[in-house]
Chain A
């Protein structure tokens, strides 16, 4: 029986036609090719979200300034624009590098090397998720941004505050058009400060920022975070499989590590664009 199958296979491989089944399309295995196409479709999903963000941002007269919104870091650091999120980017870049190392050890069929570098990758991914959890908690619990309410506003005219908020703004402070503010939440209500407009002399109240900002932020970074989370789960499963010696017996060796590697680099790639769109621009 076995000899027959091998004979059939050799016969198949000797056939030349592209459709006769003897050749791999694009000289890539089925699994890797399908991973590439899955990632392409996923790239379109993310691009759709990010383009929607751009369209809504262009449709508003003002938009929250990222280096004002994202200027808080753990250990009581305030007024440090983009520092924490740069740290998060570095975590993903480093975990991408450890993933490349795991794939290389797979090519050498070095089981311990694969498991070691994959576990380092898991630590990087889990660290990123922890940072994101901190960032979300800060925005939701401390700054009270929600999917429907965005307390980050931008002044459209210059003026003078008629009251203070107990968070750095004092009565009599002046501001210019384009300056950012955060409406603080006290005792179950948003504390919108009253101010006198320099242009018309009218007494007005701070307004909420564009409503869609919170929904876009939580949805897009949440969707990316979900990709990171599922990546960590799959990395763990494949690291366990590798440690148990499963891939030693396989004909294609450590190809599973290569496939999860492709996915993991894609998660890093998407972060490059989320970082660009939400934080840098």
Chain B
């Protein structure tokens, strides 16, 4: 809050904040384009670049979130109890992300499994020799 520092100092800090957020955003966009091969054409063939770029962008976004909450929303001047009661519940989201992303991945695997099985089915549509499905109708009904 303003009463902790003198006015000019506080105003200067705000514009430093603008610089930090703008710079981090530009770096994020650059890394994203780099990972997808817009800056070096050859990066398109490197799948691992996408994962490294993704990880870096997530870290930078988390830093931006920290900066906005602590500097702009003045969370740093609140008492520890308030900080914890607002920020700690969001840790549940880590569980949410792990659980739901794994679930999504599993839907993908299952769709692929069903697709593969559908392609195989064509060769297996003839009933097996010696099964009840080869018996005459009156014989067949005895089984039900």
Contacts and interface: CB of A to CB of B under 8 A. Distances in A.
B29 A82 contact: yes
B57 A56 contact: no
B33 A82 contact: yes
Nearest to A268: B68
Interface residues of A, number: 52
Interface stretch (A32-40, A185-193, A235-243): A32-40
Contact of A104 (B2, B68, B108): B2
Interface string A208-224: 00000000000000000
A273 interface: yes
Given A82-B32, A265-B72, A280-B29, A93 B100 contact: no
A47 B3 CA distance: 35
A107 B104 contact: no
B46 interface: no
Nearest to B20: A93
A67 B38 contact: yes
B96 A104 contact: no
Interface in A55-72: 55-61, 65, 67
A59 B107 contact: yes
Interface stretch (B6-14, B125-133, B134-142): B6-14
A96 interface: yes
Given A55-B100, A108-B7, A26 B25 contact: no
Q: How large is the interface on B (under 10, 10 to 19, 20 to 34, 35 or more residues)?
A: 35 or more
Interface string A19-61: 0000000111000010011011001100110011011111111
A100 B57 contact: no
A101 B2 CA distance: 11
Contacts of A279: 32
Contacts of A33: 82
A81 B69 CA distance: 29
B28 A54 contact: no
Contacts of A58: 101, 104-105, 107-108
Contacts of B107: 55, 58-59
Nearest to B110: A59
22 contacts: A26-B79, A26-B82, A27-B79, A27-B82, A36-B82, A40-B90, A52-B100, A54-B101, A55-B104, A55-B107, A60-B108, A81-B33, A97-B17, A97-B18, A104-B2, A104-B11, A104-B14, A265-B72, A268-B72, A269-B69, A276-B28, A280-B57
Given A67-B38, A90-B25, A276-B61, 9 more contacts: A40-B90, A47-B96, A67-B32, A67-B36, A86-B26, A101-B14, A104-B10, A108-B7, A261-B73
Interface of A: 26-28, 33, 36-37, 39-40, 43-44, 47-48, 51-52, 54-61, 65, 67, 81-82, 86, 89-90, 93-94, 96-97, 99-101, 104, 107-108, 261-262, 265-266, 268-269, 272-273, 275-276, 279-281
